[in-house]
Structures are given as structure tokens and as C-alpha cells.
Amino acid sequence: MHQERIAQVLANLEKEGCHQAIISDPMSIFYLTGYYTEPYERFFALFVSTDETVLFANRLFPDATPFCPDVVIHDDTEDPLPALTEHIDHTAILGLDKSFPARWVLPLIDGKAAPSFILASKAVDDARSIKSPEEQQLMREASRVNDEAMGWLKAQIKAGVTERSIAERLLGEYRSLGAEDHSFTPIVSFGANAADPHHEPDDTVLNPGDMVLFDVGCKKDAYCSDMTRTFFTAEPTDEQRLVYETVRKANQAAEAKIRPGVTFAELDLTARKVISDAGFGEYFTHRLGHQIGLNDHEPGDVSATHDEPVQVGQCFSIEPGIYIPGKIGVRIEDLVIVTEDGCEVLNSYPRDIEIVDL
């Protein structure tokens, strides 16, 4: 049980006038207790209040008692809500996270479990957003593995190879480097496919002259990495070089801008201005980045609409890109941790143009 994390969530809830909440997101429960299971359709929830913390788990789940001192166990045939409502203060606001299914929420509303309900997810998300020193080290380790894997990926760039064949072999490389899994489905894109930011690897064959984009990440000790690099298989054309260098400069400018107090929107606009000034503004079609930790995408994006200031300990991606349909796709992505006077860039893999000889 991570009491200091639970205390932070409760402090965040108090700002909303709430002192109790039900948390059902399995990764948030892991963050707060150290216990993880995938419940599928079964009821799984953590009740937190200023008086107690209680975990509600199914008998089929692994034993949770080493992680949480107060665990209520139910069977598949039991309705878990009566036991849950025994712990709720029925005279006070009740917080619910965004993952709590409607099939449990509606009976609580109908049964008047509380006079009013609020969305409690931000209280948890804000706590998870600030990475502890221990979490920061885990993020560094996951990114170190990803850097090594990018070197392996570069070595797979050979004439005749397919996107799918590289993507399918990447997990084995991650595991040989000490990671457990992908943090998301890898993106491997050859040639014009790189102009699709979320291209799914297929049977496209690599041909001489194709650009190659890898957007990949692993999960190590539960924490995620995420990085994108773009390679050439021939001397880039003037247009390709201009696009690549523009993206690199946008990445560099945004990272140089990071410091506590600067807003996420300012970071996005910094990178976007570099790309727009070069004449490619219409081809930068996504936000600049996203927060990351136990999940690859965590709440609090790096976008023009997010006006909150960045804070020390936050970890997020900086990933500008230019995508000209049918022609060129370039993205350069790093993860950063906000420090007292700037940021630490977690990825060390080079960002300069690299030409792979086929």
C-alpha cells in the first residue's frame, strides 16, 4: 500500500469538497496499492476515504491481502454493491473514476448511495502525473532499453524485409534486453506509409530509397517507454532533408522551452511555429505529445488547448511530425522529465539524419 499516494489523491479530492471515492481503473489501483490484476468483466474497486482504504476483489483474483490490509472478497454469484455501500458515507459527495462501469454506477445512483457524485479521475491523474524519484528511475531504465532496441531496429533495415516481419520480432529483442512487453503496438512504416501517423505494420516490402519510421516502446518493471526515429535508405532529396531538419528543429525548440511554469500549450505552439514557418503547418496533424508512466498515454496532453503549467517530475513526449500524404512522413520523438530548471531528455539515440546502406 502506498499511503503517501493515497494521501495525495485524498488531498486532491478535498479541493473538490469530496472526502471519498471509488477507483476502478486497474492501473490506478496498482499505483495506489502495488496490487495488479486484470478483472475483465468482474467487479474490482478501491474505496478510499479520509477514514479507510478498502479493496473489493473477486475470489478468482490473486490474493490481494499482502498489498492491502482491508480486502473484501466476493464470489461471481454475489452482488458486490451491498458490501461496498456499507463503507460509503451516504451524506457526503462520492467521487467515481471514469473507468467505473455504468452497470455499477446506476444502481448506486438509484440507491441514493450519496447525495451527489463527482468525477474523481483528475484527483488520481494529477497524483500519477508527478513521478517520484523511484518512478523517474524506472522511466529512465525503460527508455534505456528502448534506445538499445532502436539500434537493433536500424540493423533490420534491409532490402526485401517487410514491416510486419520487423514488428513481430521486436518483442523478442525487448525481452532479451530485460523488458516484459510492448508498451503499445509498434509502428513500422516504409516509404509513403510513414505519412500515416498511426500506420499499422503490414506486408509492405522495403525498397531502396524508402524512408523508414519506427515508433516503438517497451514496458519494463511496469513503466513505459516511447520513442520515434526516422531513417533514410538513400541520400535524401532536398525536400526530404528540409522536412527532416524542420522536424528535428521543432523537437529541439520544444525541449529547450521546457521548464516549470511554462504551459503545455506553449510547448505545442513552440514546435508548431517552427513547422509552420517552414511552410509545413498543415502537415503537422496531431498534438505535440502526451504524458506517460504506467500507461503509454496518460491524461494531460501536450497540446495547444492544455493551458496548465508543467511541473517538476512530470514525464511526457515531445514528438513533432510532418506528414505529406503519399510522399513523406517524419517524426522525431523523445521522452522528457521536467526538472527544477529545464528538463531531462530520456532518449539518447541520435536525432541527426542517418542513411542506412542497403
* Eight-class DSSP state of 309: B
pLDDT, one tens digit per residue, over 129-138 is 999 999 999 9
The span from the CA of 229 to the CA of 237, in Å, is: 18
Angle, helices 26-33/3-14, rounded to nearest 10 degrees: 120
Averaged pLDDT in 10-residue chunks for the chain of 358 residues: 97 96 98 97 97 97 95 95 97 97 96 96 97 98 98 97 98 98 98 97 97 98 98 97 98 98 98 98 98 97 97 98 97 98 98 96
Residue 126 confidence (pLDDT): 97
- Per-residue pLDDT, 131: 98
User: Which residues, at least 6 apart from 63, have a Cβ–Cβ distance to it below 8 Å?
Assistant: none
Give dist(CA 79, CA 81) in Å, integer. Answer: 6
Beta-carbon contacts of residue 238 (< 8 Å; ≥ 6 apart): none
Return the closest-CA partner of residue 127 out of 161, 94, 97.
97
pLDDT score of 19: 97
- Residue 211 is predicted with a pLDDT of 97
Looking at residue 206, its pLDDT comes to 97
pTM reported for the whole predicted model: 0.95
Residue type, 51: D
Helix (H) or strand (E) holding 71: strand 71-74
Per-residue model confidence (pLDDT) at position 279: 98
Of 214, 204, 197, 209, nearest to 150 (Cα)?
A: 214
The set of cell numbers assigned to 245 is 531538419
The DSSP letter of residue 308 is S
